[in-house]
């Protein structure tokens, strides 16, 4: 994924959306071969029934927002504190990568019911969260498939979400991050890369213990 073929952010965002679509296609292939490709180890795909349970809490403010935590925290304790900190604030937490094993070693339960979802082991499974967002827009916002601008308006205006990405971020993670920003979801990271800047949407915060305050 080349995010620098043009020195323009719209090229970056287009590449980001392409990464999201390619990731979903890749994940779909796994489910064509096996209805439970991740077994009981990770949650993977979120069903329509699970998406529908978000409707009332989103309207009432019981769920004020969503965070996607990607990568591995500096320590198990910090990973646990971050997730619990978001939980205490009512934020729905999606986990991707090494942070999952970190919080599980600390005894934290992960499931859709407790609003901490262990989505998958690497950044490709971010596609399942993008899928959830798209279906939420279609279910709750009556957005029609392939209506890009209506989808974009809905995600910007109605879905309050953001990303925490621990260093080291791969090129694939950068691609998904660009897609998230394009949908209106800021990214907070302690990584020096990527080398492009998106004011108020790509936020460098080297002190990962301050991410909750930075996020909110």
Per-domain residue ranges for the chain?
9-215
Class of domain 9-215: alpha beta
Q: Which residues contact 205 (CB under 8 A, 6 or more apart)?
A: 188, 189, 190, 211, 214
Cis bond before residue 168 (omega within 30° of 0) = yes
Please give the pLDDT value at position 18: 87
pTM (2 decimals)? 0.90
Q: What is the pLDDT along the chain (216 residues), one digit of tens a residue?
A: 444 455 556 666 778 888 888 999 999 999 998 989 999 999 999 999 999 999 888 878 889 999 999 999 999 999 999 999 999 999 999 999 999 999 999 999 999 999 999 999 999 999 999 999 999 999 999 999 889 899 989 998 888 999 999 998 888 888 898 889 888 899 999 987 655 567 678 888 999 999 999 988
Q: Which residues contact 206 (CB under 8 A, 6 or more apart)?
A: 190
Cα(51)–Cα(33) distance, integer angstroms: 24
Burial status of residue 77 (CB atoms within 10 A of its CB: 0-12, 13-18, 19 or more): exposed
Cα(70)–Cα(193) distance, integer angstroms: 15
Spatial contact of 190 and 204, defined as CB atoms under 8 Å apart:
yes
CB atoms under 10 Å from CB of 205, counted, come to 15
């Amino acid at each position: 994924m080349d995010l620098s073929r043009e020195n323009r952010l719209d090229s970056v965002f287009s590449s980001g959306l392409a990464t999201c679509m390619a990731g979903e296609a890749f994940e779909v292939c796994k489910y064509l071969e096996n209805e439970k490709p991740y077994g009981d180890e990770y949650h993977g795909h979120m069903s329509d029934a699970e998406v529908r349970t978000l409707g009332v809490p989103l309207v009432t403010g019981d769920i004020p927002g969503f965070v996607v935590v990607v990568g591995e925290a500096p320590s198990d304790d910090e990973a646990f504190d971050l997730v619990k900190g978001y939980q205490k604030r009512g934020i729905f937490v999606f986990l991707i990568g090494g942070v999952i094993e970190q919080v599980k070693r600390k005894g934290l339960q992960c499931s859709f019911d407790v609003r901490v979802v262990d989505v998958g082991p690497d950044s490709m499974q971010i596609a399942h969260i993008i899928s959830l967002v798209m279906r939420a827009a279609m279910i709750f916002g009556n957005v029609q498939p392939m209506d890009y601008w209506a989808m974009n308006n809905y995600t910007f205006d109605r879905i309050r979400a953001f990303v925490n990405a621990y260093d080291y971020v791969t090129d694939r993670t950068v691609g998904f991050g660009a897609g998230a920003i394009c949908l209106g979801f800021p990214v907070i990271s302690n990584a020096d890369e990527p080398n492009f800047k998106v004011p108020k949407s790509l936020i460098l915060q080297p002190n990962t213990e301050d991410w909750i305050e930075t996020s909110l």
